[in-house]
Structures are given as structure tokens and as C-alpha cells.
Amino acid sequence: MDFTLVKKYLFKNVFSGLVKTLVTLGLSIIGLPFVISKIGIETFGIISIVLVFSSFSGILDFGLSKSLVVYSNNEKHREEISTIYFLNFSLFLFLSALGFIFYITGINLFGSKIDVDLNEIKLINFVSLQLLAFGILNNLYRANLEASYKLQIVNWGFLIQSFLINALWIILSYFDSDIFWFIISPVVSSICTLCFHLVSVKSIPFFFKIPRYRSIKEVLNTTFKFFKIGALNSLHLPLVKYLIILVIGESYALGVFELATKLAVICNNLLSYVSNPFFSLAAKADESERLNIWKIVKRSSNYIFLVTILGYILFLILNRPLIFYFFKDYSTEIFIVLNLTLVGYLAVALGEIFQKYYLGIGKVSQVINVKFFSVLLNIVLLLVLIVFNKLDLIWVSFSFSLSYISLGTFWFSKKLVSNPSQ
């Protein structure tokens, strides 16, 4: 492995990730307050419901995208790669068909507490499943690019998706459009991003050919480990949002939590672009090269730690004007929710670079166990809150943040290990 090329690859990813995050942040600063001022935080919560199910793309991906990165390291695995595409496209067709069935039957997936009429529920169900289907397809083409050391193109794809959805919502808010158009906007942005990835990928195997049983079995054996990680990643945040919908049942609460997590995720992404390439780098490196990669990981973590501390101090200084700007109102509840979600996501960002490295060198079981503990902690805390009838927005945010803090703290402590691959 040429480490000069590795550094160039890291620089391209950092640059594209930085541009993506700053532009997304700029769009959010300009767009979200305008949209919320026009449609209200309650309606914002309702249109955000469509994004809840799309977050499950990690679990329904079944680990196929991560397995593609692993298999692409060897030309002998062409049949397995073709099988991955076949299975992924089959999932896409199944979920798309399921969306039409749910629309026709009017099945309500979101309970009775959210005040939304039947036609809007049917539309939300349909759009949610279409977003999930396109998300799974997009995951695979992003993995294709990551395997080809083109992660910077993935960043540009995310930027296109973010730009389109924010631009569409701003335009629709300006013209005081029907909520129908707000709900379908994410599908439009997802399709455009998919087209961008299709144009950018190096090659796509002919996945309409039905694979052999041996090939399917081989792929599923590999994907199962990654599936468990994807399942845990996908269940965490959507589980909390879904609980707010079913139990709290207030569109205001969902809107506040959605906006708070959106802002926290932007801050998390600002740091994650540094760690993202290390999965593919570690996965493709041999034993002699991993020590050098580990040294880069540890040095990069110092930068992440410094930026995290400075970012949180900046938030504490600017929290009042920030909350007034985005929420049009300042309250202790909003400050606590925003503060808790931000701390949680910053903690995850601190340890994510180590998690990606451990995942790349094949220590999948350890990654799964740590992630499982984090999700389990969140679930136990939520159950305790339900038993004691304390399930409100602040306590939900606290349990969510504490589980993320435990996750980030564990992985950041791995910095003390000299070389985990030996």
C-alpha cells in the first residue's frame, strides 16, 4: 500500500467532507428557520415522520454494502459481488411493492396519537417505504465507490441530496404549498442522488442473473456479521423517534427532537469525514501496513478531540441566539434537549475513528458487542421511564444521549492500545 496515495485519499475525503458539511450547515442555517417559521414546528414534526423509516436502511441492507467492500479486495469474488447486487435489487423491488400495498390498504404504522388524517398517513407510509427502498439501493452504490477509494464522491452525493431536500422545502414554504409536496420531496432528492452514484461508479455487475445457491450461502455468511452492526445502528435513533410518535404522540415533541438531532448530526458529520475512510483502508491493508494506519488513526483522533471540545464550548456560548434562531422560542426544555443530543453525537464522533479501524481489521464481534450494549442501555432506561411514568421529551433525550456517551467513551479509550491488530 502506497502511503503517499493513502494521504492523498484522506485529504480528498477530508476536503469533500468539509465542503459537504459546511454547505449542509449553511443550508440548515438559512433554510430550517425559514421553513419552520412558515409551516410551524408541529408541521415540521409531521413531515419529518417520513424520514423515520428511511433510517432503517442499515438493518434492511443486511450487511450487503459492507460485504461488497470486503469482496472487492479480490478478483476471485466476482460471482459473490454479482450476488450482492442481485439480492440488493430484490430488496429494493420488495420494499417498493410493499409501499404500494400499504398505500392501498391504508395500514397505519404510526399509531393513533399523532393527529394526522388518513390520506396523509397513507402518503407518509408510501413515501417512507420508497425512501427506505432507494436508501438500500444507494447504500450499495456508495459501497462500490468506497471500495474504489472514491469516498469523496459519496460525500458529493450526500451534498446533492441535502441541497435538494433543503432547497425544495424552502421553495415550497415560500409558496405556502400543500403538505403533500413536502412529504414527497425526500424521494425526489433520493432519486437524484441515486442517479449521481450510478453515473460515478466504476462498473456494475449484471445482477439480473439468478445466482447459484453456493454463492448466496457464501454471501449471507459474510453479510451476517455486518448485518448485526447495521441493525444496531439503524435501530437506535429511529427507535427513539418511533417511541415519541407512539407514546408521547405530540408533533411538537417530535419536531423539537428531529431538529435537535439534525443539528447534532451535522456537528457529528463535521468530525466523521475524518474517520470514514479508515474502514476500507484497514480492510485492504496487510498486517505490516496496519501499524502505520493505526498511527494515523491515533494522530487523527487528537484533531477530532480538539475540535470537539472547541465546538461544544462554542455551543455553550451561542446557545441562546442559536435556539432563538432555529426554534423561534427559547425554553429550558429546548436547551436541555439540544444540549443532550449534541453531547451524545460529539461523544460518538470522538470514538468513531477507532470503531472504523477495528471493524476494518475484522474485529466485528467486538464492535457488535459494544454497539449492542449501547442500544440495550437506551432500551433499559426507556423501560424504566415508562414504568415510573416519566417518559417525556427531556428524559427520552437523556437516555438517548447517555447511551451514545457510553459508546463513544469506550472506543475513544482504545487510543491507549499500542496496536490492536497484533
- At 331-368, the pLDDT tens digits run 889 999 999 999 998 998 888 888 888 888 878 788 88
Is pLDDT of 413 > 90?
Answer: no
Name the residue among 141, 142, 116, 115 with its Cα closest to residue 127. 116
Grid cell at residue 324: 432563538
Residue-level pLDDT at 342: 93
Question: Comparing C-alpha atoms, which of 200, 81, 189, 187 is closest to residue 152?
Answer: 200
**pLDDT, averaged across the chain:** 79
Average pLDDT over residues 220-246: 71
% of residues, the chain, pLDDT over 90: 7
Once rounded to an integer, what is the mean pLDDT over residues 324-333?
83
Q: If you average pLDDT over residues 213-240, what whole number do you get? A: 70
Determine the longest span between alpha carbons in the chain, in angstroms: 61
Report pLDDT for 180. 83
At residue 34, the pLDDT reads 85
* Residue-level pLDDT at 135: 83
